[in-house]
């Protein structure tokens, strides 16, 4: 309860973005202090559990709960995510060139709704900077995904080249990669989810990943595509079909939403992507539909509105092999990781499953 009683009251009196930077910079500094990582593990780490371990696409996840992209945009605190209990983590979104993102203010809390609205706009230091930071770090204790995007000034017809450049620079340093085409905060980015632009992007990314694997040796690293929750049924069907046909290894469902239904806080009027509890049901619906459409053959990472073990378990039963949190970490703190892991084990036993993989897609059987 250290976070809820001590840290959160202080952080929530600060500007949200300043608090964000304080947390990431603080975690990064803690990772370099002798003895501090061990203290953090003692406070927050989730014990190893065979029933929660996931083997997926050649990677081992000690449990299925990871950190979604957006918190650590520049890979400053990668070494600490395992110490506070995550099973994996995404860094980014990173673009080929560094960019400042959108104008301030651009991050808003909605406490009664347990939600955030952001219009950050892929603010980051660029792919080369991230590569240097990851290269200088120690071997990852958990799988690290690199979430890649396009620069704001790059037109959509050239977007595939930005994703190619990110892979060229960062391929040696990520355990898997996530193609972000679903943020609502970069103009026209979501148009890349449809039509010929999506086909070209998928083909380019997979060709580059294969080329990098040949260059560096070993099997090709997995590539996921992160999709939006706001597509129509027809759009979603086409997007999933194109992604699957293009050889992409998995889908992350979902990114933030532009919807605002049921919110009570005045910040609901702010433009940007909404994350947190209000996204829970819609993101689970998208997980369920992707699993149904692909017959459970395309791995899914469920993301959106996970605050409790029931929330995580619902996404797993709907078809997610792994799940991610972000906004819940802001509202509940790192204590949540152990709570989710223990809660998932309780639900497996309740339903008669011996392993978390047995529950994946259970609602479809």
Which positions are annotated as active-site residues? 183
**What values do phi and psi take at 99, rounded to 5?**
-150, 150
Give the C-alpha separation, 290 to 251, whole Å: 8
Give the C-alpha separation, 138 to 65, whole Å: 22
Beta partners for residue 224, in sequence order? 178, 250
Beta partners for residue 122, in sequence order? none
Give the C-alpha separation, 277 to 265, whole Å: 13
Asked if residues 169 and 177 have their Cβ atoms less than 8 Å apart, the reply is no
Beta partners for residue 252, in sequence order? 226, 301
Give the C-alpha separation, 80 to 36, whole Å: 10
Beta partners for residue 117, in sequence order? 108, 274
The CA distances from residue 174 to 25, 75, 159, in Å, are 21, 11, 21
Kindly tell me the sign of the dihedral angle through the C-alpha atoms of 325, 326, 331, 332: positive
| Angle value at C-alpha 242, between 241 and 245, nearest 5 degrees | 85
The CA distances from residue 360 to 90, 304, 322, in Å, are 21, 17, 9
């Amino acid at each position: 309860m250290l976070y809820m009683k001590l840290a959160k009251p202080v952080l929530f009196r600060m500007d949200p973005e300043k608090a964000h930077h304080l947390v990431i910079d603080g975690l990064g500094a803690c990772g370099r202090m002798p003895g501090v990582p061990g203290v953090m593990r003692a406070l927050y780490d989730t014990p190893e559990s065979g029933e929660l371990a996931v083997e997926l696409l050649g990677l081992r996840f000690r449990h299925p709960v990871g950190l979604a992209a957006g918190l650590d945009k520049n890979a400053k605190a990668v070494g600490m995510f395992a110490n506070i209990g995550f099973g994996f983590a995404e860094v980014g979104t990173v673009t080929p060139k560094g960019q400042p993102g959108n104008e301030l203010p651009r991050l808003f809390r909605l406490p009664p709704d347990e939600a955030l609205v952001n219009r950050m706009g892929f603010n980051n230091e660029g792919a080369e900077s991230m590569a240097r930071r990851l290269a200088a770090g120690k071997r990852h204790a958990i799988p690290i995904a690199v979430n890649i995007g396009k620069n704001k000034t790059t037109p959509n017809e050239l977007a595939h080249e930005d994703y190619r450049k990110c892979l060229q620079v960062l391929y040696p340093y990520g355990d898997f990669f996530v193609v972000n085409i679903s943020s609502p905060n970069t103009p026209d980015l979501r148009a890349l989810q449809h039509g010929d632009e999506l086909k070209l992007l998928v083909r380019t990314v997979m060709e580059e990943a294969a080329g990098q694997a040949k260059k560096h040796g070993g099997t090709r690293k997995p590539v996921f595509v992160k999709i939006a929750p706001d597509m129509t049924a027809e759009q979603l069907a086409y997007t999933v079909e194109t992604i699957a046909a293009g050889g992409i290894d998995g889908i992350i469902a979902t990114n933030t939403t532009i919807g605002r239904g049921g919110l009570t806080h005045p910040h609901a009027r702010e433009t940007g992507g909404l994350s947190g509890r209000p996204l829970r049901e819609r993101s689970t619906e998208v997980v369920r539909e992707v699993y149904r459409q692909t017959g459970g053959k395309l791995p899914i990472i469920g993301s959106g509105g996970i605050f409790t073990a029931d929330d995580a378990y619902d996404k797993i039963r709907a078809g997610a092999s792994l799940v991610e949190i972000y906004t819940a970490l802001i509202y509940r703190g790192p204590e949540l990781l152990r709570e989710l892991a223990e809660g998932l084990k309780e639900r497996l036993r309740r339903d008669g499953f011996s392993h978390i993989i047995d529950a994946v897609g259970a609602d479809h059987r």
